[in-house]
Structure 1
Amino acid sequence: MRRPQPATDRDIRKHLLRDEGEVVVDVVHHHWAAYTVPVLEGLGAFLLLLATAVVPVQLSTAVFVIALVVAAVAAWGFARERRDRFVVTNMRVFRIHGVLAQHLATMPLSRILDITVNKPLHGRVLGFGHFVFESAAQEQGLREIRYVGRPDDRDLAIQRVVQRSGLRGPRVIN
């Protein structure tokens, strides 16, 4: 098992309840597969830039502007995926996401009733899955976490933290 990642991200550290003894168990960044669409868009922008050399001069400005727009969309998508973090602590789970505006969704471990791990075929091949959290609340900001690398290991880590916190009762061994 890997050692827990330190909470080096300032955005994560400022949300920890250090006075209460909260420590980070795991910081989950998106799996590399989440970056495929922005990378493909960036490649498309590069190809459009190359196309400006072979299209007629009258169209080259329009192709150049389209390439810049596609590059901006790719950069935004990459930044959006990079700024989306899911954090598991010994007291709660929370998600921080957003590029310009930052959104924080928190759920105490006591409210987690069920965790569903969805692994589509391509996710099983590439090593990622999606978490779906069920809680007593109908609507919450922390329902689905997509593109989680090593989802089975991370599910076990969350279950281990919940068990150690004493929220599920004692272990019964027959």
Structure 2
Amino acid sequence: MSFVAGVVLRLGDPKIGKHLLRDEGEVVVDEVTHHWFAYLRPGAEAVLATLLLVASWFVAVEVAWFFIIVAVGLLGHAAWGGLAVLRDRFVITNMRVFRVHGVLSQSLATMPLSRILDISVKKPLHGRILGFGHFCFESAAQEQGLRDIRYVGRPDDRDLAIQRVVQRSGLRGPRVPN
């Protein structure tokens, strides 16, 4: 692995293990990263910055400095946006669901399985084609940090995983055999 890849992996790891209640038997069922579509905007910004840097070679020096400053700003914004997407994780455990996100400061929003009343999975047309969707959690508390989780890959599988964990925990009553 190259040095740059190692640095990106280290910076991009939100270290979700430190948020687990291991002594209570909490285990990760699924750690959800964003679908590649979420990286489209930072990627487009990086491509535009590269084009501006290349264009700065073909214009007058009086204008080139402006292109370079804008390109450096765009590259910084693209790197920040990409890192924010990389560090945003949604985690399903056997006891709760939680989301960890943030680059310099880190936010944690958690919801016990017993508080999940409803999960809506929204799949726009392009999301259905590309394989992503958005989760909307409803709970007894109206405002929480877990309301909207966007750009979730394989949303139907993730929804089934949550439903399976809730069912196994016994929160929805016993299973009725067919």
TM bucket, shorter chain: over 0.9
Aligned mate of 1:142, from 142, 146, 150: 146
- Residues 97-125 of structure 1, C-alpha deviations (whole Å, 9 max, x = no match): 00000000000000000000000000000
Task: State, as a whole percentage, how many aligned pairs show the same letter.
Answer: 70
- Return the alpha-carbon distance in structure 1 between the equivalents of residues 127 and 57 of structure 2: 39
Kept in 1, the 8 Å contact 2:14–2:87? The answer is no
Residue of structure 2 in register with 1:80 after alignment:
84
- Residue 116 to residue 170, structure 1, CA distance change in 2 (3 Å): same
Residue of structure 1 in register with 2:118 after alignment:
114
SS at match of 2:135: strand
- Residues 45-81 of structure 1, C-alpha deviations (whole Å, 9 max, x = no match): 0000001011111111111001100111110110010
More helix by share: 2
Aligned mate of 2:107, from 103, 114, 121: 103
Residue of structure 2 in register with 1:90 after alignment:
94
SS at match of 1:52: helix
- Return the alpha-carbon distance in structure 1 between the equivalents of residues 19 and 103 of structure 2: 17
Unaligned 5+ segments in structure 2 are 1-12
Unaligned 5+ segments in structure 1 are 1-8
- Residues 137-168 of structure 1, C-alpha deviations (whole Å, 9 max, x = no match): 01111101000000000000000000000000
4+ runs deviating over 4 angstroms: none
**How many residues are matched?**
166
Scaled by the length of structure 1, what TM-score is found?
A: 0.93
**Residue type matched to 1:41 in 2?**
E
Shift of 1:173: 3.3
Residue of structure 2 in register with 1:52 after alignment:
56
- Return the alpha-carbon distance in structure 1 between the equivalents of residues 90 and 145 of structure 2: 12
- Residue 52 to residue 83, structure 1, CA distance change in 2 (3 Å): same
Aligned mate of 2:171, from 162, 167, 170: 167
Indicate whether 1:25 and 2:29 are aligned.
yes
C-alpha RMSD over aligned residues: 0.9
- Return the alpha-carbon distance in structure 2 between the equivalents of residues 141 and 75 of structure 1: 24
**Residue type matched to 2:155 in 1?**
P
